[in-house]
Chain A
Amino acid sequence: MATNRVKDKIFLSGNEALAHGAWEVGLKVACAYPGTPSTEILETLAKFPEVDVQWSVNEKVAFEVALGAAIGGVRSLFACKHVGLNVAMDPLMTAAYTGIGAGFVVVVCDDPGMFSSQNEQDTRWVSIYAKLPMFEPSSPAEARQMVKQAFKISEQFDTPVLLRMTTRISHTKEDITIDTRSVPVQPPFQLNIQKYVMVPGNAYQRHILLEKRLQKLKTYSENSKFNCIEIADKKIGFITSSITYNYLKEQFPQASYLKLGFVYPFCDDKIRKFAKFVKKIYVVEELDPFLEEHVKTLGIKCFAKDPSFRIGELRPEFMSDIVNGKAKVEKKSDIRKPRMCSNCPHLFTFATLKKLDAIVAGDIGCYTLASLPPISALHSCVCMGAGVTFNEGLRKAFPNGKIVGVVGDSTFIHSGITGLINAVYNKAKGIIFVLDNSTTAMTGGQHHPATGFTIRNEPTKKLVLEDLCRSCGADYVAVVDPKDRKKFEEIVKQRINADALSVIIARHPCPLINR
């Protein structure tokens, strides 16, 4: 980071500022799987030698490694995008019961507007569902302040703490004043079967403590400086959070505000107090009516955005329409759409699949762009790894269909391997193409187990995909360069009619990645 420093001010994105803040309060371990808009958090942390950072195989693994470190007694962080948290929900839900040893912060970056995602789920609901406290910064500077506070309260209340970012906060850059690092002294790890072994009897006791903890956190929320009342014109008051606060401040500088930065547990007393101060209350927030529904349950009369504004990212120019109760006007987008690079090796694979008129089950990666015209040769995308499993499912409906599955190399390791084992075990047929460009290309080219390098470019043991697929029990495994069009097509033609489960690893490195 030294290169980015000017006296005391540096120009940092929300993700970089958050990473900096975590480092300042003595972060020791950080784990993640790359995913827009969260990727730069780990990339920034990798520049600090004091932090043990890793690209994990997927979010569940990352979460568990980081939680284990926290229980062991060092400050740890897990970062993911919104859909990444779905993969880590299993450990998250029970981590709320075990609590932590040293501070543990779970950073989730939502993607309103879906700049690079398959849905726009609102992670704030997870705080209620998992019974975990949640911070929601409105700027990069606040992301830094809040992550520092998050570690503190994680230890104070013995709980994982959620920190919810959005693409706009993660990727906005701001001038920020930073601090030096100080590492707190942690109590040594102690065996505690009642706390860390979640079998029914122990978990029941932990659930009692969890409910008590939530009550204490509610008191914290009432007193938190991050839930802040700004009284000005008493005729109109906004209850808001995150980026929306900034948009409103510019459009309605004279209004009163209750800005919520520690969003869960809710600060009901503060909300009621604010409601008494001002005549007309508006709840304005991006995506779901998370604050709105809660404020309404308190019996407070408030105005909120038309449901049409729950879709997509908010923009500053939407604020007056929202306040005036108007519906969102959907405009046809005139932006130039991204497309597959002209020299992308995947183009060759899809040209062959298109020529053979195959139904192609896909998933998440650059290759999802193959669904766009004029290629239009990828026919499903739901989640990571589904290229492998949808092949199996579609074949149950169309046993004689010309169906194949495609999955990227990084995606295959993330969650395609289990699907392949399932296909072998349950006697599924067809071809699974591992579109191997030897990197995690969509998120900017991160290493994974099959590149043979760590997040810090250090050599490590290399996962050999063809060996793995063979040992999973695939009937046929071949590695082919898709740019060798003739040979590639020949093999595909031969395998597509075979009564077997074949894996074709279409291997050609991504030209964007210079190692």
Chain B
Amino acid sequence: MTNKTCNILFCGIGGQGVLKASEICGWAAIFDGYHVKKSEVHGMSQRGGSVESHLRFGNKVFSPLITAGCVDYLVSFHQDENTRMKKFLKPDGVDLGKYLDKAQAQIQDPKHLNTFLVGVLSAFLPIKEANWIKAIEKVFPGKLLSQNKEVFFKGRRMIKI
């Protein structure tokens, strides 16, 4: 457990599974015992607009939105959105946008991008692996579960810290 609130910004466009990714991460943080808040900016995601999902966890979280310039981890699903949202990172924040090309090369189905990127992100966060697995089990129903677990580990193992 860390005492500091962790700020993660997921961004992409409607239909890419951005909200599912922040949902998995939210559950993982809950299972790890944190107070969690998650909030989206820009609606009408099914209509192809920009989607931003803010996820924050820690001992006690007040704001559901991350203050501009305070993002610890930026998880981008689309190059344009990555460029647009970079300014929200704090000076020593981690831009996972650099893994987007590799992620896209490694997945067979674009539907798996969200789980893959969650795998990448998981390698940076102080959340136990068992709780990531529980979160994935929570979010993906029966048939999709084993595939998504596999994709998650592909992403997680791509990062060597």
* B36 interface contact, C-beta 8 A: yes
Whole-angstrom CA separation of A315 from B42 in the bound complex: 13
Identify whether the interface residues of B are mostly helix, strand, loop, or mixed.
Answer: mixed
* B161 interface contact, C-beta 8 A: no
Residue in contact with A316 in the complex, picked from B14, B48, B65, CB distance below 8 Å:
B65
* A11 interface contact, C-beta 8 A: yes
Identify whether the interface residues of A are mostly helix, strand, loop, or mixed.
Answer: mixed
Contacts of B13 in A (CB 8 A): 336
Residue in contact with B138 in the complex, picked from A6, A167, A339, CB distance below 8 Å:
A6
Spot the interface stretch: B26-34, B91-99, B100-108.
B26-34
Contacts of B40 in A (CB 8 A): 171
Asked whether A174 lies within 8 Å of B62 as measured between CB atoms, the reply is no
Residue of A37, A175, A369 with most chain B CB atoms under a 10 A cut-off? A175
* B38 interface contact, C-beta 8 A: yes
Residue in contact with A315 in the complex, picked from B35, B48, B65, CB distance below 8 Å:
B65
CB under 8 Å from chain A, chain B span 2-36? 13-14, 23, 26-27, 30-31, 34-36
Asked whether B64 lies within 8 Å of A340 as measured between CB atoms, the reply is no
Whole-angstrom CA separation of A175 from B30 in the bound complex: 7
| A114 nearest in chain B by CB position | B43
Contacts of B84 in A (CB 8 A): 334-335
A-B contact count (CB 8 A): 100
* A380 interface contact, C-beta 8 A: no
Q: A6-B31, A36-B43, A173-B39 are contacts. A168–B49 as well, Cβ < 8 Å?
A: no
Contacts of B138 in A (CB 8 A): 6
* B160 interface contact, C-beta 8 A: no
Whole-angstrom CA separation of A185 from B94 in the bound complex: 56
Asked whether A338 lies within 8 Å of B49 as measured between CB atoms, the reply is yes
Asked whether A338 lies within 8 Å of B36 as measured between CB atoms, the reply is no
Contacts of B50 in A (CB 8 A): 335-336
* B150 interface contact, C-beta 8 A: no
* A247 interface contact, C-beta 8 A: yes
Asked whether B49 lies within 8 Å of A335 as measured between CB atoms, the reply is yes
Spot the interface stretch: B66-74, B110-118, B119-127, B151-159.
B66-74
Bits for B47-66, please: 1 = Cβ < 8 Å to A, else 0: 11110000000000011111
* A355 interface contact, C-beta 8 A: no
Asked whether B39 lies within 8 Å of A9 as measured between CB atoms, the reply is no
Tell me, rounded to whole Å, the shortest Cβ–Cβ distance linking A495 to chain B.
30
Asked whether B49 lies within 8 Å of A512 as measured between CB atoms, the reply is no
Q: A9-B30, A168-B39, A246-B62 are contacts. A341–B67 as well, Cβ < 8 Å?
A: no
* A354 interface contact, C-beta 8 A: no
Asked whether B38 lies within 8 Å of A250 as measured between CB atoms, the reply is no
Asked whether A315 lies within 8 Å of B49 as measured between CB atoms, the reply is no
CB under 8 Å from chain B, chain A span 399-454? 444
* A499 interface contact, C-beta 8 A: no
* A172 interface contact, C-beta 8 A: yes
Contacts of A174 in B (CB 8 A): 35-38, 64
Asked whether B48 lies within 8 Å of A250 as measured between CB atoms, the reply is no
| A248 nearest in chain B by CB position | B62
Asked whether A173 lies within 8 Å of B47 as measured between CB atoms, the reply is no
Bits for A91-133, please: 1 = Cβ < 8 Å to B, else 0: 0000000000000000000000001100000000000000000
Asked whether A11 lies within 8 Å of B39 as measured between CB atoms, the reply is no
* B46 interface contact, C-beta 8 A: yes
Contacts of A341 in B (CB 8 A): 46-48
Asked whether B47 lies within 8 Å of A11 as measured between CB atoms, the reply is no
CB under 8 Å from chain B, chain A span 159-188? 167-168, 171-175
Asked whether B46 lies within 8 Å of A512 as measured between CB atoms, the reply is yes
B interface residues, how many (CB within 8 angstroms): 34
Asked whether A340 lies within 8 Å of B47 as measured between CB atoms, the reply is yes
Asked whether A175 lies within 8 Å of B47 as measured between CB atoms, the reply is no
* A249 interface contact, C-beta 8 A: yes
Asked whether A317 lies within 8 Å of B67 as measured between CB atoms, the reply is yes
Whole-angstrom CA separation of A366 from B36 in the bound complex: 33
* A515 interface contact, C-beta 8 A: no
Residue of B30, B31, B49 with most chain A CB atoms under a 10 A cut-off? B30
Tell me, rounded to whole Å, the shortest Cβ–Cβ distance linking A341 to chain B.
7
Tell me, rounded to whole Å, the shortest Cβ–Cβ distance linking B124 to chain A.
21
Contacts of B65 in A (CB 8 A): 168, 247, 315-316
Contacts of A249 in B (CB 8 A): 62-63
Contacts of B49 in A (CB 8 A): 335-339
Contacts of B62 in A (CB 8 A): 245-247, 249-250
Residue in contact with B63 in the complex, picked from A6, A167, A316, A335, CB distance below 8 Å:
A316
CB under 8 Å from chain B, chain A span 209-241? none
Asked whether A175 lies within 8 Å of B36 as measured between CB atoms, the reply is yes
* B130 interface contact, C-beta 8 A: no
Asked whether A338 lies within 8 Å of B80 as measured between CB atoms, the reply is no
Q: A11-B36, A317-B67, A335-B49 are contacts. A6–B43 as well, Cβ < 8 Å?
A: no
Whole-angstrom CA separation of A272 from B132 in the bound complex: 49
Asked whether B26 lies within 8 Å of A11 as measured between CB atoms, the reply is yes
Bits for A358-370, please: 1 = Cβ < 8 Å to B, else 0: 0000000010010
Whole-angstrom CA separation of A246 from B39 in the bound complex: 13
Contacts of B68 in A (CB 8 A): 315-317
Whole-angstrom CA separation of A11 from B69 in the bound complex: 27
Contacts of A317 in B (CB 8 A): 67-69
Asked whether A338 lies within 8 Å of B47 as measured between CB atoms, the reply is yes
Tell me, rounded to whole Å, the shortest Cβ–Cβ distance linking B133 to chain A.
14
CB under 8 Å from chain B, chain A span 1-40? 6, 9, 11, 36-37
Whole-angstrom CA separation of A11 from B67 in the bound complex: 22
Asked whether B39 lies within 8 Å of A172 as measured between CB atoms, the reply is yes
13 pairs across A/B with beta carbons < 8 Å? Answer: A11-B23, A115-B43, A168-B64, A172-B37, A172-B64, A175-B30, A175-B34, A246-B62, A247-B65, A250-B63, A316-B65, A336-B50, A341-B46
Footprint of A on B, CB under 8 Å? 13-14, 23, 26-27, 30-31, 34-40, 42-44, 46-50, 62-69, 80-81, 84, 138
Using A315-B67, A335-B49, A338-B48 as known contacts, list a sample of 8 further A-B pairs with CB atoms less than 8 Å apart, ordered by residue number in A: A11-B27, A172-B64, A173-B39, A174-B64, A175-B36, A249-B63, A315-B65, A338-B47
List of 7 A-B pairs having minimum Cβ-Cβ separation, nearest first: A338-B47, A338-B49, A338-B44, A115-B43, A246-B62, A172-B64, A335-B50
